[in-house]
């Protein structure tokens, strides 16, 4: 399976939300990373075919989305950021409802729904009303509905937003267990959520693709640029002017800072230690802001 996003742009009046975006994806789990407003949702809505691009094309195995028509839709599973559940439906009823909308074959519908309820660990809650579900249960139901048509391209927009730590772990395991022949695109601005599940990271800024690499390659980009050092309050301003600060711990008379920047910290006699970089550091390096803002 090959998905080509070919020069996609999206304009809203005078705002360019997606700007000549080009990427080729094969089966695997891709983490789409970018700060708020960078165009992730807009791009995902275009790939999910719920919104049109202003220009450009999408090709699956060489065939244009426009030519494929409803066959393209059959390839797509989509969990939008703001999925509207019918709160008074049970989980099972909701899945039957979506299965009907998606035109899932009646012969396989029942088995499919049973399998999916098992897969997302909601079997014992199948008859519970959605309004009584936790955020994590709703997200898992959201994934189940996205998988109903056995999509080859699964698009999950901020699927971990609002989940507690236990729900996050469950969610990560769920994604990791998805069959390997799918293209899974998962957006977030919470770096730690994709650090352990995505094979490839796609970084988006102001509508543009600025990086597509494996996790280790992208982390290597900031190798040698991350340091910790202990400074006095007086030195803090100099450090802040030259570096992006990823963490700061104050003790009685000193501050331990973790900094990211192109240069080695050069503050008088202060010793610094080079640190093993992580994806948070990458985010800070590219966006000049903390990942979890």
Ligand X SMILES: Nc1ncnc2c1ncn2[C@@H]1O[C@H](COP(=O)(O)OP(=O)(O)OP(=O)(O)O)[C@@H](O)[C@H]1O
Work out which of 9, 27, 37, 254 binds ligand X, going by CB under 6 A. 37
Q: For the CB of residue 279, give the shortest distance to ligand X in the complex, in Å.
A: 17
Could you write out the three-class secondary structure of the chain?
A: CEEEEEEEEEEECCEEEEEEEEEEEECEEEEEECCCCCCHHHHHHHHCCCCCCCEEEEEECCEEHHHHCHHHHHCEEEECCCCCCCCCCEHHHHHHHHHHHCCCCHHHHHHHHHHHHHHCCCHHHCCCEHHHCCHHHHHHHHHHHHHCCCCCEEEEECCCCCCCHHHHHHHHHHHHCCCCCCEEEEEECCHHHHHCCCCEEEEEECCEEEEEEEHHHHHHCCCCCEEEEEECHHHHHHHHHHCEEEEEEECCCCEEEEEECCCCCCCCCCCEEECCCCHHHHHHHHHCCCCCC
Q: How far is the CB of 160 from ligand X (least distance, A)?
A: 12
Judged by beta carbon, residue 15 or residue 110, the one nearer ligand X is 15
Q: Does the footprint of ligand X cover residue 17 (CB under 6 A)?
A: yes
Binding of ligand X at residue 50 (CB under 6 A)?
no
> Which range in 9-17, 92-100, 120-128, 209-217 contacts ligand X by CB under 6 A?
9-17
Please give the residues from 244 up to 273 whose contact with ligand X meets the rule CB under 6 A. none
Q: How far is the CB of 32 from ligand X (least distance, A)?
A: 9
Per-residue x/- track, 184-213, ligand X (CB under 6 A): -----x------------------------
Which of 39-47, 60-68, 133-141, 280-288 is the region at the interface with ligand X (rule: CB under 6 A)? 39-47
Nearer of residues 15 and 223 to ligand X, judged by Cβ: 15
Q: How many residues bind ligand X (CB under 6 A)?
A: 12
Q: Which of 23, 42, 60, 137 binds ligand X (CB under 6 A)?
A: 42
Residues of the shown chain interacting with ligand X in the complex, contacts defined by CB under 6 A: 12, 15, 17, 34, 36-42, 189
């Amino acid at each position: 399976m090959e998905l080509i996003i070919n020069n996609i742009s999206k304009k809203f009046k005078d705002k360019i939300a997606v700007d000549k975006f080009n990427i080729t994806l094969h089966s695997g789990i891709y983490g789409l990373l970018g700060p708020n407003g960078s165009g992730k949702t807009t791009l995902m809505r275009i790939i999910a075919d719920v919104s049109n691009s202003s220009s450009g094309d999408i090709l699956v195995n060489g065939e244009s989305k426009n030519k494929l028509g409803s066959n393209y839709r059959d390839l797509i599973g989509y969990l939008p950021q703001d999925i509207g559940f019918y709160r008074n439906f049970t989980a099972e009823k909701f899945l039957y409802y979506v299965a009907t909308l998606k035109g899932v074959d009646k012969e396989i519908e029942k088995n499919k729904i049973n399998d999916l309820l098992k897969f997302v660990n909601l079997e014992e809650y199948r008859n519970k009303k959605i309004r009584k579900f936790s955020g994590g249960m709703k997200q898992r139901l959201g994934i189940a509905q996205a998988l109903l048509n056995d999509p080859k391209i699964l698009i999950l927009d901020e699927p971990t937003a609002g989940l507690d730590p236990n729900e996050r772990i469950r969610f990560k395991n769920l994604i990791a267990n998805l069959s390997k022949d799918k293209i899974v695109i998962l957006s977030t601005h919470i770096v730690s959520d994709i650090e352990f599940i995505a094979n490839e990271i796609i970084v988006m800024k102001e509508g543009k693709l600025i990086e597509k690499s494996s996790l280790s390659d992208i982390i290597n980009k900031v190798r040698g640029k991350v340091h910790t050092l202990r400074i006095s309050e007086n030195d803090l301003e100099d450090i802040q002017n030259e570096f992006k600060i990823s963490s700061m711990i104050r003790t009685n008379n000193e501050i331990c800072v973790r900094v990211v920047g192109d240069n080695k910290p050069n503050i008088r006699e202060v010793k610094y230690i080079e640190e093993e970089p992580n994806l948070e550091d990458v985010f800070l390096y590219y966006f000049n802001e903390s990942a979890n803002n």
